[in-house]
Amino acid sequence: MKLSPLFCDGMVLLRGQEQNLLGQTTPYRDVTLNFLSHTYHTFSDSKGNFTITLPKMPAGGPYEITLIGDETITIQDIYFGDVYLLSGQSNMELPIRRTLNYNAEEISHANEKQIRYFTVPKHYQFDAPSNNLEEGSWKSVTPESILPMSAVGYYFAKEIYDRYHVPVGLIEAAVGGAPIEAFISEETLHQFGRYDSIIKQNKQEAYVDGVIEEENYRMQRWFQTLDNLDLGLKQPEWYQPDYIEEGFSPQLIPALFRDNILGTIRGSFWFRKTFTMPEDYQDEDSILYFGSIIDSDQVYLNGTLIGRTEYKYPPRCYPIPTGLLKKGRNTIAIRVISSTNPGGFVPDKPYGIKYGLNFFDLSGTWQYRIGATCETLPHQTFFTNMPTSLYQGMIFPLKNYEIKGVLFYQGESNDSHPEWYEELFKAMIKDWRVLFHNQTLPFFYVQLSNFGNHMRYHSGTNWAYLREAQRHILNVPNTAMAVTLDVGEYNDLHPQNKEAVGKRLALAVRALVYGEDIIYQGPLIFDYNFVFQENKSYLDLFFSFAENGLHIIGDQIQTLELSMDGSTWEKASATTLNNKLRIPIASNLPHFVRYAFENNPEGANLYNVEGLPASSFLIPLQASS
């Protein structure tokens, strides 16, 4: 006898809602369920499938269920509470362990028995939707179990639990890099036409297996070739502390290789630095923080490998083994591998050793030498990111588990075609509401954060257009959007402050699900009007979620612009009056207005008095006749 992995010890079931428990056993088998001194009977069908319905229950627990059929299955430590599905790409998936720089002290004491999470295994499916999950388990929050948990999910759940004291269950089904079309059903995607050929191709198992085999072989051969050629791995190895640095040249760290000749090279680069630890170092616990490195790295301290990371995004945070770091002279050697992208060390991040309350800075001049050069390694094919792959492999198997709402954080991987995003997102919401048999299933989603360094490189507006598409999704009933223009990091696709994101999602849930009368979103433009007074012209912009007033941080609004043609923009000033921005017009009436409309709109400073940032926007204007 078998149940879905979702139905296991420690599960959280939705309170106030009947819950079907589905399983498999031998055909036409009598199955009995014992729960709270009540007995429920059913029979399996000709294929051995059975369903037993649990009654509506208030919040609480722990409870125990016993199923008796071909064998006896006992499920223990069950709670009834509120269950939310978390989905999207890497910023939803990002685990607590990747955000410890932000709030490590709180995490070290986390012990929330009634906050529980279930991580759906990453699985793509092309031929037909999966009816069940292969594995998985429920975990309650402890200092140990919290580390792989979604950071957004944790901060959201803690906010809800602390307020309502109701058990919270989170089902995480997120995959880094996944575009929104991966979460949409095949039937729905066929309506758009542009995905038909790739869906058809991926249904050929031989094709998928062939691509995976070929790319794995190519990657293995590339790294083997690199290791064989790398002079730094030949004796005497360049990571040895007493190695004499012949042929090395000075190089500043941090720096991106695309800013110099190294950006054209793919292969391995070795960086060395000899330094002297201060006298106040007492052989205490210490951690090497070394920013982010593109594409991958291996770090040696005094000849010992202390850490390695295989891809570019994670912050490098390597605990130093006790006794390895010494007072006086030490040597660090870093092997950087640039396989696909121009390599480098991401600026404006910490590069040094933390010991106690002190930080020993290691940025500055290092010595470097190229270890080996290779051809560029082509990008890998990720089938989890293909159209309908995750809907069929990870979302569809959840269809019989009752949920209270969806939290969705995604969009970065659709920035090449933001003009498609609105229709795709609306199609996904419709799909999921059908799947979960709830046409009003609440959707709470995160608008893209600020990202990109426009001080050095024009950051563009593709993220801004995608944010505009996300703003339009609010036309769908029972949706809410958490604006995060103020919590991003220009140099990190995965900003650390997931607490603000989780809390802003919780605000929306408090209003739409729990019925609190609160302002739960940042200001949203909903109307405009041209005003003519005393031979002067003004443009008034009206905002919802600003009933108590708008607030400009600083002396004057930033990133507000006007245009006659939609391509040439001029900065605009404005004053606030209740829920209105008033913009003085110097000459001709503008045809367009926009706010915070860049990938990284640094300085965006329009909020409501509740402290929530306004959404970016771009709207055409038409003077009334």
Helix (H, G, I), strand (E, B) or coil at 171: strand
β 536-544/524-533 pair status: antiparallel
Q: Which residue's entry shows tokens 């951690």?
A: 287
Tens digit of each residue's pLDDT (9 = 90 or more) over 414-467: 999 999 999 999 999 999 999 999 999 999 999 999 998 755 544 579 999 999
What is the pairing mode between strands 293-294 and 344-345? antiparallel
Distance of alpha carbon 254 from alpha carbon 366, whole angstroms: 10
Which three-class secondary structure state does DSSP give residue 232? helix
pLDDT at 283: 81
Whole-number pLDDT of residue 625 = 46
* CA–CA–CA angle 475, 479, 482 (5° rounding): 105
Closest by CA to 540, choosing from 433, 621, 424, is: 621
> Which pair of tokens denotes residue 244?
């004499």
The pLDDT tens digits of the residues spanning 167-226 come to 999 999 999 999 999 999 999 999 999 999 999 999 999 999 999 999 999 999 999 999
Phi, psi of 137 (to 5 degrees): -155, 155
Rounded distance, CA 120 to CA 233, Å?
40
* pLDDT, position 615: 98
Tell which residue, 512, 508, 447, 509, has the closest CA to residue 483: 447
pLDDT for position 454: 56
What are the residue ranges in the chain where pLDDT is below 50? 457-458, 625
User: Using an 8 Å Cβ cutoff, are 26 and 32 in contact?
Assistant: no
Helix, strand, coil % over all residues of the chain, rounded to 5: 25, 35, 45
Of 77, 62, 65, 67, nearest to 44 (Cα)? 67
Specify the pTM. Answer: 0.95
Q: Which residues contact 586 (CB under 8 A, 6 or more apart)?
A: none
| CB half-sphere exposure, 117, CA atoms < 13 A | 29
Q: What HEC string does 62-92 produce?
A: EEEEEEECCCEEEEEEEEEEEEEEEEECHHH
Taking the mean position of all CA atoms in its chain, how far away is CA 26?
Answer: 42
Instruction: State how far the Cα of 597 lies from the Cα of 560, in Å rounded to an integer.
Output: 8
The pair of structure tokens assigned to 258 is 């695309």
